[in-house]
Amino acid sequence: MLLIEAVVVWNEPNNLSHWNFHLDPGWQQFGAMVKQGSAAMRGVNPDLPIVLGGVSSGDPDWLRLQAGYGVMDHVDAVAIHGFPLDWNHWQLTEWPDKIREAEEVSGKPVWVTEVGCSSFGLEEVAQMGFRRTVELIRGKTPRIHWYSLYDLPPSWPAETRHKEAEGSSYYRHYYLGLLRHDGTPKLAATDFPVDGSVGLCQWFHWQDHRLHDAVTWMREHNVQHLRTGLSWADAYRPDAEAWFDHVFTQLWPFQVAMTLCFTPGHLGKEDHHTSPPLDNADFAEFAAWAVERYASPGQSVPVNPKARSLYDLPQMQRRKAELEAAQPAADSAEAPKEEVLAV
């Protein structure tokens, strides 16, 4: 079994909480970054599927925009996200139409890499939402990644722009798991199919204490497909490679859609993980490294022992200085900034 079944480029790039499009009007740089990153990854493993990062609310206009930039020639599938019972302005029963529309606009297979329903207020609502969603979309998409296995721990911040000021919209982020944050099952967990037809999306944060228990639960429930993230921003923490290696060694039993996202502050147009990079070549280098380390052709172990080390912190600090010196001061001086909270 292959560990990495696909690489997903970014997470919800049409969502300001994940990509600051004020610094990239029209997402032109994003489209160019996908192309350059795709070329770098194909240079390492030409057969590895590349998926355009999950589009918030399945927005077909955003997909149409990227198609106009020629991005679809550089990916093998597109991913869409939807939470119609919590945030999106469409009905749950529209899911099949959303998948079909994304297929028509992109000309590519469509993966549902995040779909979910919060138990905020009432667990029975989330259980009904799980049952009905699976009924509506199973068989209509190659991948269903339910978001998520765990509720967000109450002491952790959710990744949104305005935090508690969003009211119930913010707090719904904390109740999207099949399990509570302490690992006890909610009603929807009893309906999770054990035939491998539904996968999960679960982000494992830096030194995440839930990793071992998550793997145990997924193996017990015959989960085949898992989507998780590899944070570019975390790659420059001390001992980052050791943590990444540990995560992917633990996830070896599953077919993983590895999402690459979050800009290191020292490589961004602004010092924030949602920022477009100063130079797309830096993302391409990271993407190639991730594929070389975890998804080289014919790889039969979780970590490629011949993979190079990604980073040299003094070198990257010099790189930041070089990029800033080359960047016209006006490019970012007047760019509006949104308040965004990182997980």
Q: What pLDDT tens digit does each residue of the chain (343 aa) get? A: 458 999 999 999 999 999 999 999 999 999 999 999 999 999 999 999 999 999 999 999 999 999 999 999 999 999 999 999 999 999 999 999 999 999 999 999 999 999 999 999 999 999 999 999 999 999 999 999 999 999 998 887 777 666 776 667 777 888 999 999 999 999 999 999 999 999 999 999 999 999 999 999 999 999 999 999 999 999 989 889 999 999 999 999 999 999 999 999 999 999 999 999 999 999 999 999 999 999 999 888 899 988 888 766 566 667 767 777 777 654 444 433 333 323 3
Residue 47: closest CA among 8, 5, 3, 9: 5
Burial class of residue 154, CB neighbours in 10 A (0-12, 13-18, 19+): exposed
148 prior amide bond cis, ω within 30:
yes
Per-residue pLDDT at 336: 38
| pTM of this structure | 0.91
- The dihedrals phi and psi of 258, each to the nearest 5 degrees, come to -90, 115
81-115 burial, b at 16+ Cβ within 10 Å, e below that, comes to bbbbbbebeeebeebeebbebbbebbebbbbbbbb
